[in-house]
Each structure stands twice: as C-alpha cells, then as structure tokens.
Amino acid sequence: MSLADLPSHTMQRAASLDALCGLLAERHARGEGTVLLAGGTDWVVEQELKPPRGDGAPLPLVVDISRMDELRGISLTRGLLRIGAATTYLEIRQNPAVIERTPLLVAMARELGALQIQARGTLGGNLATASPAADGVAALAAYDATVVVKSVRGERRIPFSSLQTGYKQGTRAPDEVIVAVEIAVPPEGSPWFWRKVGTRRAQAISKVALAGIAARSEDRAVRFGLGMASVAPVTATLLQTRALVLSRPLPAITAQDLDAAVLSDIAPLSDVRSTREYRLHAAKAVVRGFLRDLGAPV
C-alpha cells in the first residue's frame, strides 16, 4: 500500500449522521472495514508507511465526513464548550469563544503542525487515531473532556479518563462515530499551561508535551488537570501528580515529592524522536514549570 494506491479505494459521502451510523453498523456486521476521513493528516501518511499489500484482502471503504455539518462547529452554552469532531484546529484557534474561555486550546492549536495541517487536522481525527503523541488529545486530557459518540444504538458520552485503554486502543466501539468533545470551561482567568518540547516548536511530533489547567482558592488548587503526550502507551493524565497537588497547599509542595509523583505517572520509551532518559527529565521539568507559575516553591 502506498499513496499511489489511494485511487483504488472506494470513496463516498454519507448524507447525514444517522445514515453514517447505519452504514457503519451494516459494514461492521459483515466484517467490512471502513475509514472515516476528515482531514486525513494521520491516515494518509500511514498509508505511505505501510508495507505493500499482497494478501488480496479488500481495501476499506473511505467515507468523507469533512463536510458533515452535524460533526462541525463550536458552541459555548452555560459553561459547556462543545467542539464538533470534524472542526479543524485552525477553526479552533480562531474561534472567539475558545480564545476567551479556553486559551490552552489556542496555544496548543498554534503549535500543531504547519498552517496546512492546522487547516485540515481535527480533534476527532486525533482521538480516533489514539496516538499517545497527539498534542490535541493531551489538551483534552487536561480539561477532563467528555467525548460524544453515536451509533445506531444511540448517543453516549465517554469521560476522557475512560476513553483510552492501551496503545491506539480504547472503549469506543468500531461502529461508533466520534461526534464532538465537550469541555466544562474553568472560571475566566484560570491559570493554564502549554509546553511542547521537540526539535521544532510546530513542525515536529513532540518529544514531550504538557497541557495543564487549574483553578485556585487562596493557596490551594481546587481544580487541577494535566495531560502529557509521548510519555506512555496512552495520553498520560498524571493521576498521582494531580492527587498530590490537590491534597496540599501549593507552598507545601516540594520538588522532591512532585518529581516522584511525575515519575510514577509515566513510562516513556526511547524511539527515533528521543530517549527515555530525556523524556523523564523533560516531563519533570515541564510539570515543575507549571507549578512554579501557580506559586509552588519547586
């Protein structure tokens, strides 16, 4: 399989979300593969990297969902931000509600690839690919987002903490469509943090990336969310680190305890982009940076 084989795929569009769910149900029941294509910034590259096909197996049907209105758009209603799965990163970073209430998403989207990638790539695509290196998914983890999916059985909401189960594996069923993500926005002015560590700020996959959001009451954090990319088989939510920060006044958090919590939360590997040792060092450093912004003496 290579990019030259793309014309061999049968491609179509679904008339509506209900029609798409019906199509997925039918094809899944017959054991037939289906690819939902919005931006294609991950899937098209994967096709180029795959070895040549020689097994004679049928190619999956490719369904273009990039223009499906039911999967697009951004709304903010009573403190709940909803972003359609096929909304692009460029649309996210330019949306007034996102700029005002969730600036972390803007900072992340500005560094997610070149402008051409931002104009095509989508949060839904990052979620579907389930790569632990996805910057957009790390930001959703920090916000403890909810992922809305739909099938012929109806619509359901999956908390981010329950979404990923292993490397590129999760609890979404094969016949479910990612419809949107929902974020309970923090109070205006809440501290946030974004740091991408890589060979280039935007034009490279992260060695480590940290997204953070907090809300404070006096000297304590009363909301504290983290999402870290490229340090585990799944997007790391750093549960031990969260628990540490929420359990103590910020001035009582020590660098030693913070580093120990971070190390217990991650399991980085060495690969072509970085080493395990560097990722361990960078992960501790970026978490310390966020805590210093919050006033902890680390």
- Fold of the domain built from segment(s) 192-294: Enolase-like; domain 1 (3.30.390)
DSSP states of 34-74: EEEESS-TTHHHHHHHSPPP-S-PPPPEEEE-TT-GGG--E
pLDDT tens, position by position, 87-125: 999 999 999 999 999 999 999 999 988 888 999 999 999
Among 46-55, 69-78, 82-91, the minimum mean pLDDT is found in 46-55
* pLDDT value of position 137: 96
Cα within 13 Å of Cα(79), Cβ side: 6
Q: What are the angstrom distances between the C-alpha of 84 and each of 72, 76, 127?
A: 4, 12, 12
* pLDDT value of position 200: 76
Each domain of the chain, given as residue ranges in start order, spans 3-64, 69-184, 192-294
pLDDT tens, position by position, 173-215: 999 999 999 999 999 999 999 999 988 766 778 999 999 999 9
Q: Are 135 and 206 in contact (CB under 8 A)?
A: yes
The per-residue pLDDT of the chain, averaged, comes to 93
CA 124 to chain centre: 8
* pLDDT value of position 1: 44
Length of the chain: 298
Q: Are 100 and 141 in contact (CB under 8 A)?
A: no
Global confidence as pTM: 0.93
* pLDDT value of position 42: 81
Binning pLDDT at 50, 70 and 90, where does residue 41 land?
confident
* pLDDT value of position 263: 98
Q: What are the angstrom distances between the C-alpha of 276 and each of 195, 267, 279, 283, 288?
A: 18, 8, 5, 10, 19
Higher pLDDT, 58 or 184: 184
In 61-133, the DSSP E strands lie at 61-64, 74-77, 80-84
Determine the CATH number of domain 69-184. 3.30.465.10
* pLDDT value of position 36: 95
| Measured distance CA(196)–CA(207) in Å, rounded | 8
